Amino acid sequence: MADALKIGIAGLGTVGASLVRILQDRHEMLATTCGRAIETTAVTARDRNRDRGVDLSQIKWFDDAVSLARDADIDVFVELMGGSGDPAYSAVKAALQRGIHVVTANKALLAAHGIELAKIAEEKGALLNYEAAVAGGIPVIKALRESMTGNTISRVYGIMNGTCNYILTKMEKEELSFEACLKEAQRLGYAEADPAFDIEGNDTAHKLSILTSLAFGTAIAADDIYLEGITNISIDDIHAAADLGYRIKLLGVAQRTESGIEQRVHPTMVPYDSVIAQVDGVTNAVAIESDILGELLMVGPGAGGNATASAVLGDIADIAKSRPGAQHVPAFGRPTNALLPYKRARIQSHEGGYFIRLKVVDRTGVFASIATRMADNGISLESIMQHSKHLMESGEPQTIILVTHATSEHSVRDAIKAIKSEGYLVGEPQVIRIERPKAN
């Protein structure tokens, strides 16, 4: 049997502690399946004295991640600290410059520095593996990077943030406000004390940028994504979606068009009978549409200690099974010098159409005015209706629901601007894209 693969772990939070535990508890099984033992020989974390429920007595402790990456006698550096900057960035870079393989769950780091780090890995003959960075335990990175080689991918989309999916699911099933569901998510540990990164869509955007690079062979463009979170979704939107046969999900969508690549993150209405509409709670789902394989939908746990540790362990096991001198799979599926510059797509019609909710004063001619403003901007309406769960008294503001056929974001925004100028709108309108997934 080959010499043991020596692991250094930076970060001993929920995921790091779970990884250490699994490596210790399943030592013999992993040695058999990988052809060599896997041993944790070095660790670092912010608090050396914290009880993590694992035995660290035989493992060398380093005071900081960079010194572990630079000086430890290890074969693989596992980065589980998070964050796009230091210490994660400097530590990963230091490990790769030594020719040490790196496994990370850090989507923010990859979105900001992934191409730079991948180039160093190529130059030094090291692997940069990151299955756990996107969709937790779902093996979507391996599918895109290895299993779907030869496929031309047209679209990648999915539910990539468990916090948002939990909130939207709870709003619908328990008829609670966004604020109440967010508080419950924080109480259960699904949302951070400062939840902005999740609920405003940034976390999904980082993950989407990585999938876009893998799917379309382009440089990462995390700053070139249309971004909209779920903070403006109300229980009225949830009810209206249900009445129309839809559920609301926060989706990340990347697709190839004739003019470039389109990337967007936003609340989306999906048909109730589609598979992705049935993905509830903290579960994630990623769909890939390609020419050879067709439609592939993968569903599984998107976060949590064991799910993320499992994905990290899979990356480590791949390294353990590889042999010296073997050709490494490039971090983003192709060498960094072969990645194409990212070209943003021109604004085009959204084939799924739009849901538009307007609250208006109750007066004669409003329906006609709204329809006229839509027509003036080239928008064809699939339906227009007055929507009220309870019978309202005359004179109270009324809610009008519009569902459009395929049209552009630009046309929708211009139509709403024109409607605002009429003076009968109460509050801000709600606009949600409608997606009609092929994978079902």
Q: HSE on the CB side for 362, CA within 13 Å?
A: 11
C-beta separation of 143 from 118 below 8 A:
no
Q: HSE on the CB side for 342, CA within 13 Å?
A: 20
Q: Which of 80, 62, 138 is nearest to 302 (CA)?
A: 138
C-beta separation of 115 from 339 below 8 A:
yes
Hey, which bits of 71-213 come out as E strands? 76-79, 101-104, 128-129, 153-159
Task: Compute the Cα dihedral for 7, 10, 15, 21 and give only its sign.
Answer: positive
Q: Which of 49, 354, 199, 293 is nearest to 190 (CA)?
A: 199
Task: Determine the angle formed by the axes of helices 162-174 and 235-244, rounding to 10 degrees.
Answer: 80
Local structure of 192: helix, strand or coil: coil
Task: Compute the Cα dihedral for 156, 161, 164, 169 and give only its sign.
Answer: positive
Q: What does 172-186 look like in DSSP terms, one character per residue?
A: HHH---HHHHHHHHH
Residue of 119, 170, 207, 249 marked catalytic: 207
Q: Which of 307, 301, 313 is nearest to 20 (CA)?
A: 313
Residues 425-438 as b/e (b if ≥16 CB within 10 A, e otherwise) read beeebbbbbbbebe
Burial of 171 (0-12, 13-18, 19+ CB in 10 A): buried
Q: Which of 66, 103, 65, 110 is nearest to 84 (CA)?
A: 110
Helices (H), 125-177: 140-142, 162-174
Q: Which residues contact 214 (CB under 8 A, 6 or more apart)?
A: 141, 144, 145, 332, 333
Q: Is 6 a catalytic residue?
A: no
Residue type, 401: I
Q: Hey, what are 387's tokens?
A: 């929507």
Angstrom distance (rounded) from CA 18 to CA 2: 25
Residues assigned a catalytic role: 207
